[in-house]
Structure 1
């Protein structure tokens, strides 16, 4: 039994050592291309959200943040921006769950099915969104000079999305 545990431990160690370079090769550092992919993903999602009724827009934006986080997570140096976007996504998710209008069927937008909010909850949802976006943009603008250089276009895109709810 002791020999089995020893061999299993050795195999796990070798697997970790072999897997690490693969992860490092797939990881992207700061780049204009990564920033552009992130902004393009977000902007496309917002454009799709503009096509739905206002009761669906908060959940549509939540979905857009989720898709954008998947893109940005491919580059570990963007982790602060990823965390900021994830916070917006999670806040919207919780709000949508608590304020869904069950009398309105979901609609399909940008590859996902989104929920409608109750009419009464939209002003609070809008205020929540504006606050979350402002905080996320502040985080992205508050880093090192190289972070700020690559995060600024993302911050501008999320701030511009507020127009969708005005």
Structure 2
């Protein structure tokens, strides 16, 4: 009899199959599991923050260095959601921007300009004559990524992908409207005569 009572007691407290299942991309902030495998507010906010603040910092650099900075920023954001099943289309969109801008930077690298460092990251310059073309390719890559994100997301992905697309569009507008640096400044920078970031002041 005691054994039967013990079994009934255990059955009362053992949770059912769905008791610990998190809400899939709940968009709410309730008690859903916060994992990059499913779309969730925390991860989406982090990706948006990385793209917003990262590109903002890139645009503070001399224009020749901005594009290498942008491609690394998109790479950092992509790695934030790498392996996430629901974020896979967003990951591929961000990686596409990174790879296309990287190809443009590598094809137009300026061998006469020094690399600069901001924080722990180093950036390379493109040739002054190629800045306009690299800028156009960067903007096109951003436009294509935004289109992919908005085209066909599942209902639970849609609000998250819309937020990422919105910050990409914002990046594009800022890049398009950013003022050009003059050729004299670029020339001085290439010769190492113009400090760009708070590095050591040797030489």
User: TM-score over 0.5 for the alignment?
Assistant: yes
Report the structure number with the largest CA radius of gyration: 2
Equivalent positions of 1:42-121 (< 5 A) are 42-73=51-82, 75-121=84-130
Within the alignment, does 1:164 sit opposite 2:150 as a pair?
no
Deviation of residue 165 (structure 1)? Answer: 4.0
The structure with more helix, counted as a fraction of residues: 1
1:5-48 Cα shifts (integer Å, max 9, x gaps): xxxxxxxxxxxxxxxxxxxx965311111100111111121122
Tell me if structure 1 keeps the 8 A contact 2:74–2:98. Answer: yes
What is residue 152 of structure 1 aligned with on the other side?
A: 162
Counterpart selection for 1:36 from 35, 38, 45:
45
Whole-Å separation in 2 of the counterparts to 1:146 and 1:110: 37
Tell me if structure 1 keeps the 8 A contact 2:36–2:43. Answer: no
Counterpart selection for 1:123 from 119, 132, 137:
132
Equivalent positions of 1:5-20 (< 5 A) are none
Whole-Å separation in 1 of the counterparts to 2:146 and 2:119: 24
Unaligned runs of 5+ in 2: 1-33, 178-203
Deviation of residue 147 (structure 1)? Answer: 1.8
Tell me if structure 1 keeps the 8 A contact 2:36–2:81. Answer: no
Unaligned runs of 5+ in 1: 1-24
**Greater RCO between the two (CA within 8 Å, min separation 6)?**
1
Secondary structure in 2 matching 1:108: strand
Whole-Å separation in 1 of the counterparts to 2:158 and 2:137: 24
1:43-76 Cα shifts (integer Å, max 9, x gaps): 1211220221011111110010111111121522
Secondary structure in 2 matching 1:29: coil
Tell me if structure 1 keeps the 8 A contact 2:150–2:161. Answer: yes
1:78-134 Cα shifts (integer Å, max 9, x gaps): 000100110111011111111011111111135311111111111111111111111
| TM-score normalized by the length of structure 2 | 0.66
